[in-house]
Structure 1
Amino acid sequence: MRLFLTFLLLFMVPITLLGCIQSPGEKEGGILSKEQVLKRDPEADLFEFNGKVYRTGIGWIEKKELTKGERVGEISKWSATKLPDGATIYTTEERGDILIVEYDGMENRYLLQIGE
């Protein structure tokens, strides 16, 4: 019996602890929530639109050649961490997972946040 308990403690406890070490959203295979994105990066520049979270500051989307599509909405109170109310949201013609937000003469690109 002691041998069984020793085995349990030595092998099962570390395996259980390793299972708890993962990134927020990892292995969730779906769209991340605002809380999950902010848990990864508390300073993230993001907004919620149609129940989905979009985030900027991702290098490759800034380099991608994109064409601004149709206007689909605007930022409203409590929907964004850093964007001002009234900022305009546009689709892109090339990709459905990137939105462009325009305000004060500037454009920022935001990528849909999906779990790994």
Structure 2
Amino acid sequence: MFLVRNSFVLILMFLLIGCNGIQENETGYLTKEQVLKENPKADYFELNDKVYVTGIDWIEGVKLTKGEVIGEIKDGMASELSVGTQIIAPRERRDILIV
């Protein structure tokens, strides 16, 4: 079991609620277009019709343990991550992913 440390992984979290009046889609999540409208330089990736982004301040203090690999970044899925980067679900939460 590995304890995930902030300096070793990039933790991403999807936006649950629209910011500044942006409305989420029918699943309750923002679309890539909505994320980019709010922040054109957003570091994001898409998985299972959900958009995950970096830069969520409170995540820095969350201790997570690596769980199962649930996917990998493919061409066109991410703004900054390399193709082939593994996507890992932590054991403690399902609203945060580790890459």
Regions of 4+ moved over 6 Å:
none
Task: Give 1:63 deviation, angstroms.
Answer: 1.4
Where does structure 2 lack aligned partners over 5 or more consecutive residues? 1-19
Report sequence identity in percent. Answer: 56
When the two chains are superposed, the root-mean-square deviation of aligned CA atoms in Å is 1.9
State the number of aligned residues. Answer: 80
Give me the TM-score of the superposition, normalised by structure 1.
0.63
Residue of structure 2 equivalent to 1:48: 46
Residue of structure 1 equivalent to 2:77: 79
CA distance in 1 between partners of 2:34 and 2:93 (Å)? 23
- Give 1 or 2 for the bigger CA radius of gyration: 1
Higher helix share: 1
How is 1:1-116 mapped onto 2 (pairs within 5 angstroms)?
22-25=20-23, 30-101=28-99
CA distance in 2 between partners of 1:65 and 1:74 (Å)? 22
Higher RCO (CA-CA < 8 Å; seq separation 6+): 2
